[in-house]
Amino acid sequence: MVVCTLTDEEVDRLFRALADRTRRDIVRGTMLDDASVSALARSYDMSFAAVQKHVAVLERAELVVKRRSGREQLVRCNVDTVRRAQQLLDQLESIWRDRLDRFEQLLAEDRTTTTPLETENPTP
């Protein structure tokens, strides 16, 4: 198990990165294709500097990577980061589905007149 010690500063940084709708949109929009900072500025009707700022926030959170191509700066979603997040969310979903199954079972016990006590083979 990798032990990470997150400082308050790091936590704040990620929250800030993801709190903004435009930034989340940039991550999704650059999953399949690079986008230049100037193209992003046009599509969001924002100044180059404003988009540049958003991209810098995402870069620090490792959600996008930036590279230079001629005079353009190209932004691309860091697919590895997103994929890792997706796998972890799948695990989280399993945990919650199991919990909700038990939750439902407790409510179902209300509906039966005799409450079975944790039987090995509950009657169907």
Contacts to other proteins by CB under 8 A: 1-6, 10-11, 14-15, 18, 24, 27-28, 61-63, 81-86, 88-107, 110
Name residues whose C-beta falls within 8 Å of residue 73's C-beta, 6 or more positions apart in sequence.
Answer: 36, 37, 52, 55, 66, 67
- Residue with smaller CB distance to other proteins, 49 or 89: 89
CA dist 60 → 13, 14, 16, 105, 115 (Å): 8, 8, 11, 45, 54
- Residue with smaller CB distance to other proteins, 32 or 98: 98
With contact defined as beta carbons under 8 Å apart, do 118 and 105 qualify? no
- Residue with smaller CB distance to other proteins, 69 or 119: 119
Shortest gap between Cβ of 116 and other proteins (angstroms)? 13
Shortest gap between Cβ of 34 and other proteins (angstroms)? 17
With contact defined as beta carbons under 8 Å apart, do 76 and 64 qualify? yes
Shortest gap between Cβ of 8 and other proteins (angstroms)? 10
